[in-house]
Amino acid sequence: MAEPAVQSRKVPTYCYQCVNGPDMLTVEVVDGVATRVEPNFAGKGCHPADGKVCVKPYGLIQKLYNPNRILKPMKRTNPKKGRDEDPGWVEISWEEALDTVGAKMRAVREAGLMDENGNPKFAFSTGGAGTPICYMGAFPALFAAWGPVDLSLGAGGTVKCYHAEHMYGEQWHRAFTVLPDTPLCNYIVAFGNNIDASGGVTSVRRQADARVRGLKRVQIEPHLSVTGASASEWVPIKPKTDSAFLFAMIHVLLHEHAENELDVPFLKQRTAAPYLVAPNGYYLRDPATRKPLLWDLESSAAVPFDTPGCDPALSGTFSASGVEDGADGQSWEHAAVSVKPAHQLLLERSAEQTPEWAAGITDVPAATIRRVADTYLKEAQVGATTVVSGREMPLRPVAVMLGKSVNNGWGSYECVWARTVLQTLVGALEVPGGLLGSTTLVVGPEYDRMASCVPGPDGFMDHPFHPTDKEHWKAQPEVRHGHSTLIPATGNGLYAQPLGSTSIAWMRLQGRGAETWPKVKPPEIWFVYRCNPLISFSETSRMGETIAQFPFQVSFVYTMDETSHFADILLPDCTDLEGTQLLRLGGTHYFEQMWDTEGWILRQPIVAPQGDARDFSWIATELAGRAGMLEEFNNMVNFGVCGIPLKTEAYDFALDPAQPHSTEAIWDAVCKAASFDVTGGKSAEGLDWYKEHGFRLRPFPHLNWYLHPRMEDQGLRYELPYQERLMRIGHQLEHRLHESNIHWWDQQVAEYEPFPVWKDLNKLWGDAYERNFKVKIDDYPFWLLTARSMQYAWGGNVGIQLMREVAENVAGHSGIMLNAGTAQRLGIAEGDTIRVTSPVGTTEGRAFPRQGCRPDVIVMVGQFGHWKTPYAKEFKMPSLNDLVPMTMDLVDGTGSSVDAVRVSIERVGGAA
Amino acid sequence: MTRYVMVADLRRCVGCQTCTAACKHTNATPPGVQWRKVLDVEYGDYPEVHRVFMPVGCMHCADPPCMHVCPSTATGQRADGIVTIDYDLCIGCAYCAVACPYQARYKVERRTDAYGEGRATAQEDAGFDERRLGVAQKCTFCADRIDAGTARGLTPGVDPEASPACVNACIANALQFGDLEDPQSNVSRLLAENRHFRMHEQLGTEPGFYYLWGN
């Protein structure tokens, strides 16, 4: 008898386990079993990496079938919470679980959404820079319908992100994240930028293509990273000294080369370099229009910045009249006062910051710094042009890239500023070959960067700063970290709360920091999804004690984990390969996701959900009904929270607000609207079409990779180099805070400098340690750093055996990397157990000596230290996070801090 | 004639292990068995140190030592250069594994699964092949995919359905596959245009696996 024919099919779906998503893949299903992941070959030619996905989604099948999954809702029966408490989990029905959660929500709604401190009673924490939203189906509509939700209890964001780039990048060139125009770029100066591990498939592919073409990259970082491996040169810089290297590069360009070697037309027309700065540090302005003035070399007079036909001076000192507008309406009238263009001030402030000065700080020879700067200038090809889609533009194939740890905490303002100034000096900002921004999350909309580029004050782009004037400043924090009160640049967009300072939220819950504000109460309801702050935040052991105080925690889980150990209710949601959701695809988005197409892509159930796992859209609908907000929830779905409005003047696929709708019905409507969008109204195929075809695309204008045409057409300038607006905001903020008797933010407010002042960060760290912990910094002689694990990062996949197996092929996934010479000096052999100690924590791990590591640095890759997550708890891998102190002294002006920590090490045991 | 070879461009590889994972899916290898993997190699001394990622696996040598030592003729060589193992003939003596200078061969005595005994996933049940227990196993260049693809008129190294899974999956386009005897094939062109080497070339095994490192 013949065997029955094997039933095999390939199902298209997406992966969005990191910010570089969504990417395309297919899953082969054989006789109803998901067997293997493959690229989606239909993506060839329309996806920048031809439909391929990175290593992480290959773990999704094991995630689906992981025997450690929680497949039924559970409730806690032991009211005591703690690491050593047994929660007493009991399986319950979905009915009971939803009734319990829904009743809590209803009770809060009836009693009022805000607590007596003015903070939301409902909080939600997630990880992955918000990417879990791409697995939550229609759930965001529940949040939107609810009202104020506290998102400030972060799981790692503002410590483990590119915070300074997010904040300043968006203001300066709509760059929540930046990228080189890799296909055209010839020279990249990368300070710890680990793009091969963090940039997803598109970055890896573009960078690899560029290297073969001849792109050179200098990798400046304390340990030779995965990305450093493919660099042309490794420069092992001393940790936290990157700004000195960058400042010295500015010096070389300004003081060791003639002005006409720079992109003078760009500086004059596209930046604030010629704006005249008056005696009090603010721009000199035209008294009538309040427009900043510049010195016109043609007429030898100060004229408004937008005067047609003028030739502004970049250097020199001039005598001019006008007004100067300071903070809080303060104004000075000047007659024939001495003023200088911002560029002149830049010349003066960079005069002493020579490569020789930087060499003593960075431990990098002056000749190396000078050579890198000279090469950067030469490779910029100032004066060259190219044509993109019929438009002639400058071609400036150079970029300076910054890594995560350079972008966070003290010093990051200096670095991001200096990097962006370096780009402007050679005209390599937002032009072909140069440094570009990608997505816009502060200003928005996320999927239309060009639309975010609109005129604001003084010839610059607009930016949604929170008000700092006396009348409008938000003295009362809106959420627990008080972003709208303390950090004006966060704006009010969807990403405002995950910015700011999540450290402050946690410190306040622990009764420290922000001492003039009342100790905050925990949220009455805390939802947690795809994050594990007990592993991924700082001082993680202490955080457990904090979370144990939360009265009602709902964790959406696929296996048990450290944070869920403290939950009251566990809800098993569909994993990546079980749920349904439609997302926008392509365009320009995060890091190097630069497409020539845009459209929509579907995630769909590859197989039926395992056990009692349920789709998030179903969970949201059920909870909305029980919380008494079904109509509001449906209205939000119709409004467009699922990615696109379901009703416009052109079409109507809206759902009946009064009725609950199935997951399929919700996404069928979204699919129809998306089809209408992507085809320009020619079709309206629904869910079935996307289930079969996976994605739908249309061309995306290549010109929209660059902000330059839009800036040029609107006559706008990049708000560089001088930060007059930030200085004014800083002064106003300082006034408001002091009026409120708040002095604990003084260090941070002091950072609103028009030119960031170089700080000795090694001294700053030493002082902070000695002040906060009463220790001697010399007793902690090593910098402990971390590095991105491509295999694990953001996937929530630490419990997946396949990821563990393949990650161990990459150095650092089995132990702590340290310099081989250091190891020898300390009598440490490979595999020995070493103890690593900071003032707030201790951890142990196996030593892994490497040559590619500075002698004063040790490295712990990824984030481990699990004690509850099945499988991962057997790793015996150390955690850097528990050693990272949370203290206001290490929070910078934008609220961020960094997971670099000074430590001591000692050998405590031989190899196992 | 046809001679299938793999080309790994060391300028491109970032050590991500996507090929490793794709191979494990396609060939349903058990935990710890990696027919394809990428080595993370350091050379030089601080601070003059370099790091390079090298995909490795069976080199499908033209003169394979593993075949010569095989007492049961289980290891063979196809006309297209692919070195094969006949599981029915293999007696599991492991001489081949010792003889292979590339440590490309594995031998597994009993079934193991990702999450331990009695906890096999549906994916593992679907992929389990009892014939591989107690015998030598290694990379096949996905010969079954090549054969199925060429039978449909497809070209290995060009058409995904006729190409090794690791090549299809490689996100850096570092891995390329094709016919060395065809001067127009992608691998022939890459070898003509770039400097290259093969691993342990001095041993005379004539590996069918080339590393590019510049032009």
Q: What is the pLDDT of residues B160-211, one digit of tens each?
A: 999 999 999 999 999 999 999 999 999 999 999 999 999 999 999 999 999 9
What is residue B5's DSSP assignment? E
* Gyration radius from chain A CA atoms: 27
Cα(B70)–Cα(B108) distance, rounded to whole angstroms? 17
Distances (CA, A) of A167 to A442, A505, A750, A755: 8, 19, 17, 16
Task: Using DSSP bridges, classify how beta strands A318-325 and B48-57 pair: parallel, antiparallel or unpaired.
Answer: unpaired
The burial class, CB within 10 Å (0-12 / 13-18 / 19+), for A86 is exposed
10-residue stretch averages of pLDDT, chain A, 912 residues long: 78 96 96 98 97 98 98 98 98 98 98 97 94 95 97 91 95 97 98 97 98 98 98 98 98 98 98 98 98 98 97 98 98 98 98 98 98 98 98 98 96 98 98 96 90 96 96 96 96 89 94 92 97 94 94 98 98 98 96 97 98 98 98 98 98 98 98 97 97 98 98 98 98 98 97 97 97 97 97 92 98 97 97 97 96 98 95 93 95 95 96 70
**The pLDDT value given to residue A3:** 64
Cα(A810)–Cα(A689) distance, rounded to whole angstroms? 41
| 3-state SS class at A836 | strand
Going by C-alpha positions, the residue among A863, A125, A149 that lies closest to residue A566 is: A125
A652 bridge partner residues: A647
B4 bridge partner residues: B179
Q: In chain A, what residues touch B17 (CB-CB under 8 Å)?
A: 55, 791, 806-807, 809-810
Cα(A817)–Cα(A802) distance, rounded to whole angstroms? 23
Contacts of B116 (CB under 8 A, 6+ apart): none
Cα(B120)–Cα(B115) distance, rounded to whole angstroms? 7
The burial class, CB within 10 Å (0-12 / 13-18 / 19+), for A415 is buried
Find, in chain B, the residue whose alpha carbon is nearest to that of A38. Answer: B169
Contact B46 A855 (CB under 8 A): yes
Number of helices and strands (H, E) in chain B? 7, 10
B18 touching A (Cβ < 8 Å): yes
Question: Which amino acid does the sequence have at A125?
Answer: S
- Restricting to B residues 181-210, those with a Cβ less than 8 Å away from any Cβ of A are none
Contact B39 A204 (CB under 8 A): no
Q: In chain B, what residues touch A62 (CB-CB under 8 Å)?
A: 114, 121, 123
DSSP code string of A61-116: HHHHH-TT---S-EE------STTS----EE--HHHHHHHHHHHHHHHHHH-SB-T
- Contact between A297 and A312 (Cβ < 8 Å): yes
- Restricting to A residues 222-251, those with a Cβ less than 8 Å away from any Cβ of B are 224, 226-230, 234, 236
| Residue in the structure block whose two tokens are 């891998």 | A877
Cα(A63)–Cα(A67) distance, rounded to whole angstroms? 9
Cα(B214)–Cα(B10) distance, rounded to whole angstroms? 8
> What are the phi and psi torsion angles at B20 (to 5°)?
-60, -50
Cα(A816)–Cα(A836) distance, rounded to whole angstroms? 10
Cα(A108)–Cα(A551) distance, rounded to whole angstroms? 13
Q: Report the sign of the C-alpha dihedral through residues A38, A41, A674, A585, in that order.
A: positive
Q: Out of A236, A791, A802, name the one closest to residue B114 (CB).
A: A802
Chain A nearest-CA distance from B160, in A, is: 8
Q: In chain B, what residues touch A204 (CB-CB under 8 Å)?
A: 14, 16, 171-172
Interface test with chain B among A809, A825, A859, by most B beta carbons within 10 Å: A809
Cα(B3)–Cα(B212) distance, rounded to whole angstroms? 18
Contact B38 A809 (CB under 8 A): yes
Give the ipTM.
0.98
Cα(A408)–Cα(A412) distance, rounded to whole angstroms? 5
**The pLDDT value given to residue A2:** 59
Chain B nearest-CA distance from A674, in A, is: 29
E strand map for A120-241: 122-126, 178-180, 187-191, 216-220, 233-235
Structure token digits, residue A317:
């000192």
Find, in chain A, the residue whose alpha carbon is nearest to that of B170. Answer: A52
Contact B122 A58 (CB under 8 A): no
Q: Out of A228, A802, A851, name the one closest to residue B24 (CB).
A: A802
Going by C-alpha positions, the residue among B140, B142, B136 that lies closest to residue B84 is: B140
Chain A nearest-CA distance from B118, in A, is: 10
pTM of the model: 0.97
* Residue A879, CA atoms < 13 Å, CB-side half-sphere: 22
Chain A nearest-CA distance from B144, in A, is: 16
Cα(A331)–Cα(A793) distance, rounded to whole angstroms? 50
Chain A nearest-CA distance from B73, in A, is: 31
- Contact between B166 and B146 (Cβ < 8 Å): no
A830 touching B (Cβ < 8 Å): no
Is the bond preceding A445 in cis, omega lying within 30 degrees of 0? yes
**The pLDDT value given to residue A876:** 87
- Contact between B17 and A807 (Cβ < 8 Å): yes
Chain A nearest-CA distance from B56, in A, is: 12
Cα(A733)–Cα(A488) distance, rounded to whole angstroms? 8
- Restricting to A residues 34-53, those with a Cβ less than 8 Å away from any Cβ of B are 34-39, 41, 49, 52-53
Number of Cβ pairs < 8 A linking chain A and chain B: 163
